[in-house]
Chains A and B, each alone.
Chain A
Amino acid sequence: MACIKESRPTGNTIVIGLESSPTNLDPRYATDANSYRLAQLLYNTLIELDSRFHPVPNIIKRFANPNDTTYVFHLKEGIQFHDGKELTSKDVKYTFDCILNPAFKSPHFGAFEKIDSIVILDKYTVKFILKEPFAPFLINLAVIGIVPKDDMQKSEDSFNITPVGTGPFKLAEFLHDERIVLNANADYFDGRPKLERIIFKIIPDSTVRLLELNQGNVHLLQNDIPPDLFPFLEKKDSLKIVKRPGTTYSYIGFNLKDAILKDKRVREAIAYAIDRKAIIRYILKGLATPASGILSPYNWAYEENVNVFEYNKEKARNLLDQAGLIDTDGNGPQMRFELTFKTSTDQLRKRIAEIIQQQLKEVGIKISIKSYEWGTFYSDIKSGNFQLYTLSWVGITDPDVLYYIFHSSSIPPQGANRGRYINKRVNMLIEEGRITLDMNRRKNIYSEIQKILALDIPYVSLWYSTNVAVMNKSIHGYVVYPAGDFFSLKDVWIEND
Chain B
Amino acid sequence: MFQNRLAVFGACIIGTLIFVAIFASYIAPFDPCEQSLEGGLTPPSKQHLLGQDGLGRDNLSRIIYGSRISIFVGISVIGISLLLGTLIGCIAGYNPGWIDELFMRIVDILLAFPGILLAIAMTAVLGPSLNNIVLALCITGWVGYARIVRGQILTVKEREYVVAARALGANPVRIITHHILPNILSPLIVEATFGIASVILAEASLSFLGLGTQPPTPSWGSMLNEGRQFLLVAPHMTTFPGLAIMIVVLGFNFLGDGLRDSLDVRKD
Residues on A close to B: CB < 8 A?
Answer: 206-207, 210-211, 226, 228-229, 231-232, 278-279, 281-283, 345, 347, 350-351, 353-355, 357-358, 368-373, 376
Q: Which B residues lie within 8 Å of A370 (CB)?
A: 127-128, 214
Task: Judge whether A351 and B54 touch: CB under 8 Å.
Answer: yes
Chain A minimum-CB-distance residue to B37? A282
Report the separation of the CA atoms of residues A229 and B35 in the bound assembly, to the nearest whole angstrom. 20
Which residue of B has the minimal Cβ distance to A375? B124
A228 to B233, CA, bound (A): 8
Q: Is the CB of B40 within 8 A of A371?
A: no
- Residue contact A354 to B233, C-beta cutoff 8 Å: no
B240 CB → nearest A CB, Å: 18
Q: Are B215 and A228 in contact (CB under 8 A)?
A: no
Contacts of B214 in A (CB 8 A): 368-371
Asked if B215 and A371 make an inter-chain contact with CB atoms under 8 angstroms apart, the answer reads yes
- Which residues from chain A contact B56 at a C-beta distance below 8 Å? 282
Q: How far is the CA of A369 from the CA of B222 in the complex (A)?
A: 14
**Is A228's CB under 8 angstroms from B37's CB?**
no
Return the chain B residue nearest A347 by Cβ. Answer: B229
Q: Rank and list the top 6 A-B pairs by shortest CB-CB distance, nearest first.
A: A282-B37, A345-B210, A354-B215, A369-B215, A232-B233, A226-B229
Not counting A351-B226, A354-B216, A371-B128, a sample of 8 additional A-B residue pairs whose C-beta atoms are within 8 angstroms of each other reads A226-B230, A228-B54, A228-B230, A229-B230, A347-B225, A353-B215, A354-B35, A370-B127
Most buried by A among B124, B225, B232: B232
Whether the pair A372, B128 counts as a contact (CB closer than 8 A) is: yes
Tell me the complex Cα distance, A351–B229, Å: 12
Q: How far is the CB of A354 from chain B (nearest CB, A)?
A: 5
In the complex the two chains form, what is the Cα distance from A199 to B59 in whole Å? 41
Q: For A376, list chain B residues within 8 Å (CB).
A: 124
Cα A345 to Cα B225 in complex, Å, equals 11
- Does chain A have a CB within 8 A of B137? no
The answer to the question of B41 belonging to the interface, with a C-beta cut-off of 8 Å to chain A, is yes
Minimal Cβ-Cβ distance residue in B for A210? B232
Contact (Cβ within 8 A) B124 A355 = no
Minimal beta-carbon separation of B31 from chain A (angstroms): 11
Mind listing 10 A-B residue pairs with CB under 8 Å? A210-B232, A229-B233, A232-B233, A282-B56, A347-B226, A355-B35, A355-B55, A358-B35, A370-B214, A373-B210
- CB of B207, distance to nearest CB on chain A (Å): 12
Across the interface, do B40 and A228 meet the contact criterion of CB distance under 8 Å?
Answer: yes
Q: How large is the interface on B (under 10, 10 to 19, 20 to 34, 35 or more residues)?
A: 20 to 34
Tell yes or no: B231 within 8 A of A by CB. yes
- Chain B contacts for A229, CB-based, 8 A: 229-230, 232-233
Report the minimal beta-carbon distance from A233 to chain B, rounded to whole angstroms: 9
What is the CA–CA distance of A372 and B124 in the complex, to the nearest angstrom? 8
Chain B proximity of A329: nearest CB distance (Å): 18
- The docked-state distance in angstroms from the alpha carbon of A355 to that of B36 is 10
Q: Classify the interface of chain B: helix, strand, loop or mixed.
A: loop
Q: Which residues of B have CB within 8 Å of A358?
A: 33, 35, 216
Q: Which A residues lie within 8 Å of B230 (CB)?
A: 226, 228-229
CB neighbours (8 Å) of A207 from chain B are 228-229, 231-232
Bound together, the chains give a CA A170 to CA B115 distance in angstroms of 47
> Cα distance A351–B222 when bound, in Å?
12
Q: Is A206 touching B210 in the complex (CB atoms < 8 A)?
A: no
Q: Report whether B124 and A373 are in contact in the complex, using a CB–CB cutoff of 8 Å.
A: yes
Residues 187-219 of B, flagged 1 when their CB comes within 8 A of A and 0 if not, give: 000000000000000000000001000111000
Binary flags per residue of B7-45, CB closer than 8 Å to A gives 1, else 0: 000000000000000000000000001010110110000
Provide the B108-139 mask, 1 if CB < 8 A to any CB of A, else 0. 00000000000000001001100000000000
B37 and A283 form a contact (CB under 8 A): yes
Alpha-carbon gap, A372 to B33, bound state (A): 21
Q: Beta-carbon contacts of B228-268 to A below 8 Å, as 1s and 0s?
A: 11111110000000000000000000000000000000000
> How distant is B13 from chain A, measured CB to nearest CB, in Å?
31
B contact residues around A278 at 8 Å (CB): 37
Task: List the B side residues contacting A354 at CB < 8 Å.
Answer: 35, 55, 215-216
In whole angstroms, what is the CA distance A353 to B124 when docked? Answer: 20
CA distance A210 to B55 in the complex (A): 22
How many angstroms between the C-alpha atoms of A414 and B233 in the bound complex? 45
A282 adjacent to B232 (CB under 8 Å):
no
**Cα distance, A326 to B41, chains bound together (Å):** 36
| Assembled-state Cα–Cα distance A176/B11 (Å) | 51
Chain A residues whose C-beta falls within 8 Å of the C-beta of B231 in the assembled complex = 207
Q: Distance in Å from the Cβ of A98 to the closest Cβ of chain B? A: 37
Q: Is the CB of B232 within 8 A of A371?
A: no
A319 CB, nearest partner CB in chain B, Å: 24
**Bound-state Cα–Cα, A345 to B226, Å:** 11
For B215, what are the chain A residues with a Cβ–Cβ distance below 8 Å?
350, 353-354, 357, 369, 371
- Nearest-neighbour CB distance to chain B for A254, whole angstroms, equals 21
Q: A353-B215, A373-B124 are in contact. Are A283 and B40 (CB under 8 A)?
A: yes
CB contacts (< 8 Å) of A345 on chain B: these are 210
Choice from A351, A368, A371 contacting B55 with Cβ under 8 Å: A351
Cα-based distance from A350 to B207 in the complex (angstroms): 14
- B209 to A, closest residue via Cβ: A345
Q: Please, which residues of chain B bring their CB within 8 A of the CB of A347?
A: 225-226, 229
List of A residues within 8 angstroms of B225 by Cβ: 347
Q: Considering the chains assembled together, what is the distance between the CA atoms of A371 and B217 in angstroms?
A: 13
Task: Name the B residues within 8 Å of A371 (CB-CB).
Answer: 128, 210, 214-215
Contacts of A210 in B (CB 8 A): 232
Closest to B125 in A: A376
Cα distance A476–B38 in the bound complex, in angstroms: 35
Contact B37 A231 (CB under 8 A): no
**Chain B residues in 8 Å Cβ range of A206:** 229
**Nearest A residue to B57 by beta-carbon distance?**
A354
Q: How many angstroms between the C-alpha atoms of A345 and B214 in the bound complex?
A: 11
